[in-house]
């Protein structure tokens, strides 16, 4: 065999060896029609809030107990319990979550609001429980700021849908001038989970199973509003 033929044969073999792994790698990466890999789609499904920042605000705390329930429990404690559950589920969905308080501590309204701008959050979510002079008043209420930006309204609507789908009675999406909603530039909502002045709502707010259900519904609503 001539020297030139030997060199050509060796070159072909070398090219074939190099081509093999590249062909194998291409078959291992499934790509969607839009050019997004299957692994990326799976990651988005598992972590729908990845890249999102949410500030969760348990209302009241410390020297400010909030409303008192007919059973003697305090709003600040219910707020913190539910907010912790919501924060944990949002983290599990991939979000970066900051809490304005994680213990029974007083935080001013201005300091709470400042966290929204400081973290440039995608949503500021304040958790509360309601009270009224009419003991028959019950159900959750979602508030947005007066003159709220579209993002707040969209998040509020998604939250209401999630609450309704989970079977929670609600009083709709309303506007209010709450400082924690108005004192910053970020999308924001305040959720009143129920009425401590209502016997049924007060019992629910103290029920671990009910608290887990409403926390799950809140998380689903946030995911529906913010997922990429």
pLDDT tens digits for 55-84? 999 999 999 999 999 999 999 999 999 999
pLDDT at 18 over 70: no
CA proximity to 54, closest of 110, 107, 96, 109: 96
| Residue pair 124/153 in contact by the 8 Å Cβ criterion | no
| Distance from C-alpha of 134 to C-alpha of 3, rounded to nearest angstrom | 101
Given pLDDT bands bounded at 50, 70 and 90, which one contains residue 228?
Answer: low
- Identify the pLDDT of residue 128: 98
At the topology level of CATH, where does 48-226 sit? Aminopeptidase (3.40.630)
34-53 tens-digit pLDDT: 565 665 556 667 899 999 99
The pair of three-digit structure tokens given for residue 162, joined into one six-digit string: 């999630």
Beta strands at 96-99 and 123-130: parallel, antiparallel or unpaired? unpaired
pTM reported for the whole predicted model? 0.82
Report the SS3 class of residue 58: strand
The token pair that represents 138 in the structure block: 């019950």
Give the DSSP letter of residue 213: H
**pLDDT of res. 46:** 85
**C-beta separation of 86 from 125 below 8 A:** yes
Task: Kindly report, residue by residue over 121-160, the tens digit of the pLDDT.
Answer: 999 999 999 999 999 999 999 999 999 999 999 999 999 9
Residue ranges of domains in the chain: 7-43, 48-226
Active site residues: 192
Q: Is the pLDDT of residue 114 over 80?
A: yes
Q: Which residues contact 164 (CB under 8 A, 6 or more apart)?
A: 170
């Amino acid at each position: 065999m001539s020297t030139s033929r030997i060199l050509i044969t060796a070159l072909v073999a070398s090219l074939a060896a190099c081509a093999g792994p590249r062909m194998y790698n291409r078959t291992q990466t499934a790509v969607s029609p839009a050019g997004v890999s299957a692994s990326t789609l799976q990651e988005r499904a598992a972590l729908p809030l990845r890249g999102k920042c949410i500030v969760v605000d348990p209302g009241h705390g410390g020297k400010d107990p909030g409303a008192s329930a007919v059973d003697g429990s305090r709003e600040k404690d219910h707020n913190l319990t539910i907010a912790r559950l919501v924060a944990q589920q949002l983290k599990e969905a991939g979000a970066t979550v900051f809490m304005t308080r994680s213990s029974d501590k007083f935080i001013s309204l201005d300091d709470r609001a400042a966290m929204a701008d400081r973290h440039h959050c995608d949503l500021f979510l304040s958790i509360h429980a309601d009270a009224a002079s009419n003991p028959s008043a019950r159900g959750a209420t979602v508030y947005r700021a007066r003159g709220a930006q579209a993002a707040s309204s969209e998040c509020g609507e998604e939250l209401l849908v999630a609450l309704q789908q989970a079977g929670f009675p609600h009083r709709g999406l309303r506007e209010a001038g709450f400082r924690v909603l108005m004192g910053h530039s970020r999308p924001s909502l305040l959720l009143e989970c129920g009425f401590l002045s209502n016997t049924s709502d007060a019992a629910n707010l103290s029920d671990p199973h009910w608290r887990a259900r409403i926390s799950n519904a809140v998380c689903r609503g946030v995911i529906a509003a913010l997922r990429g």
